[in-house]
Structure 1
């Protein structure tokens, strides 16, 4: 009995974890993911900046596994760290030079804005997904399966729950993202947030606080739907397998890789639009909206053809797979911990 209790159904209503426990589990996962993935992404940022600093582009975009960051390269000048370290020849060379000249902790630069903004968004996303999934699953089984022991979960449940949770989380964070981009680029203090908000609203109205949300949802909603569909499918396929941390790690990596592969065109469009919009927000006193998604697709296709819509596939897979794996494995481990805690609490009440 003791050996089997580890693998009892996480959706069992008797031991189902509470929303606040889901919040703790997702927060832990977001913290661990950002801490592990950030050093790898810092190196990628530096390598990417080397190319951007040589061109006329003023902005470049990077992601640390949890959120996107938009960074300016002012006046086409090389940043101080590039002048100090020289040109990086590869990942290992970048890690060595950065650690030697700037200190090991510099590999975690950019972690603060991620923790301030991405962690709450991640908590909202995962808790919303879990609550919606369980609600849809319970409703379905009460109507069609009469709440049987091996309750069913149709494929559309993770698709709908994942898509809805992503829309909610992205919409919640979008206004903060706009202000954060402006603050980071111009080193504004927190006392200037109100003025920045007034500037955006003056030229674009209240809806201006959600500039860029459409392109974000264009990428993130399909990704979320495909990711959760694949992840839940893998879990159901290996129903009798012990759900170890390694199993969840592998399932998350596979599900994330498939979702990243199928949504890479959306990611390319989103990157182009965010950089375009970011330059208008950063370098203009009158924040203006970027072009439409359709015009961006036509531009990319006209310049590079179909291959242009699939640019950056390998770096995206390298980034997304470990981030998804770490996040979901940590989240599931936290859920199992609280499930065992709830089960023990119930046993103590009965004795």
Structure 2
């Protein structure tokens, strides 16, 4: 029994909410640990569903720049909960709920719809094509919104001032300026999506368990880990580029300059060698793998619930129809 696009959207929305609730505290702690290591202008917040630029603004108290002498992850978690309240561990949740949840809903629903349409053409490779198109479309739609939010946060602009800044940017560089940073995001997210969905669909048929939750959780975890490792260099370049662009926004500088994707990659290789493209492997896997597993298992359980509900409703309608026929005869 098939489910409707609306039911797919509800399933992906619930999955995104559950993922955010589980993974957000890990990234809040990571950023707080980074903040105490020295003076930083920007931090990247990424809880497995989204990337979000955090700005350290002097004279303003922000959740990522509060004081704290932490000795490690567990110590930070306990101390933050004791001194600031347990809710502080979810301080970075609001940007996720505002943008990442709708984006995730569009992404997962588009993938399922595209996969069913492309399966007769591409057969077992349909997940690759559907993943690429769904992710590319989502990134393209969200990029201007991300840029607008970045400008508002970095320059503390009102909505009227923001409108003028956007008009000036469009007048000078055209509408394409609203998609600045799009190429770096596409370079990382599309290959990740293609690899993830293909591996997930393959593994799901091979995981020998009667539990839908375990089947999707294990498959999502393994697929997410592999895709995260393979696309790590692209993630390093993309994160570096976003931080540099964020710092330029804070300083009011225009133009990309050396902040191009190739420029960042060359700079990393010249500074740290090829090894520099593979830094942060464990933190990336520790975040992405469980996020993928929680998201996909929640999504699959939601779809299973609606599938069962539709089946039950269909059976009841059939029984009512037969009963009406019996009465008529």
Aligned to 1:72: 55
Q: Compared with structure 1, are the counterparts of its residues 190 and 95 closer, same or farther at alpha carbon in structure 2 (3 Å cutoff)?
A: farther
Is the deviation greater in 100-109 or in 333-342?
100-109
Q: Does the CA contact (< 8 Å) of 1:273 and 1:296 recur in 2?
A: yes
Distance 2:66 2:264 in 1: 37
- Out of 236, 247, 251, the residue aligned to residue 205 of structure 2 is 236
Distance 1:82 1:130 in 2: 36
Q: Does the CA contact (< 8 Å) of 2:13 and 2:105 recur in 1?
A: yes
Q: How many residues align?
A: 319
Aligned to 2:220: 252
1:181 aligns with 2:150: yes
- Out of 17, 21, 36, the residue aligned to residue 3 of structure 2 is 17
- Displacement after TM superposition at 1:193 (Å): 4.0
Is the deviation greater in 290-299 or in 322-331?
290-299
Q: Does the CA contact (< 8 Å) of 2:128 and 2:195 recur in 1?
A: yes
Distance 1:87 1:202 in 2: 47
Following TM superposition, the consecutive aligned residue runs of length 4 or more in structure 1 with deviations greater than 3 angstroms are 77-86, 186-193, 285-290
Aligned to 2:44: 61
Deviations along 1:39-65, whole A, 9 cap, x unmatched?
111001111222352xxx522212012
1:331 aligns with 2:299: yes
Q: Does the CA contact (< 8 Å) of 1:281 and 1:288 recur in 2?
A: no
SS at match of 2:52: strand
- Displacement after TM superposition at 1:245 (Å): 1.1
SS at match of 2:44: strand
Is the deviation greater in 33-42 or in 242-251?
242-251
Distance 1:290 1:209 in 2: 19
Distance 2:147 2:194 in 1: 25
Deviations along 1:249-279, whole A, 9 cap, x unmatched?
1111111000001000000010111111111
Unaligned runs of at least 5 residues, structure 1: 1-14, 141-152
Deviations along 1:68-116, whole A, 9 cap, x unmatched?
11122346x9967788643211011111221222211111112111111
- Out of 35, 41, 48, the residue aligned to residue 21 of structure 2 is 35
SS at match of 1:237: coil
Deviations along 1:327-351, whole A, 9 cap, x unmatched?
0000000010111111112111211
Aligned to 2:190: 221
Q: Compared with structure 1, are the counterparts of its residues 264 and 347 closer, same or farther at alpha carbon in structure 2 (3 Å cutoff)?
A: same
Distance 2:302 2:63 in 1: 39
SS at match of 1:65: coil
Aligned to 1:5: none
- Displacement after TM superposition at 1:285 (Å): 6.0
Aligned to 1:144: none
Aligned to 2:167: 198
Aligned to 1:344: 312
Q: Compared with structure 1, are the counterparts of its residues 46 and 262 closer, same or farther at alpha carbon in structure 2 (3 Å cutoff)?
A: same
Aligned to 1:4: none
RMSD (Å), alpha carbons:
2.2
Distance 1:83 1:23 in 2: 35
Aligned to 1:10: none
**Superposition TM-score, scaled by structure 1 size:** 0.85
1:273 aligns with 2:255: no
Distance 1:277 1:106 in 2: 28
**Superposition TM-score, scaled by structure 2 size:** 0.90
Distance 2:64 2:18 in 1: 29
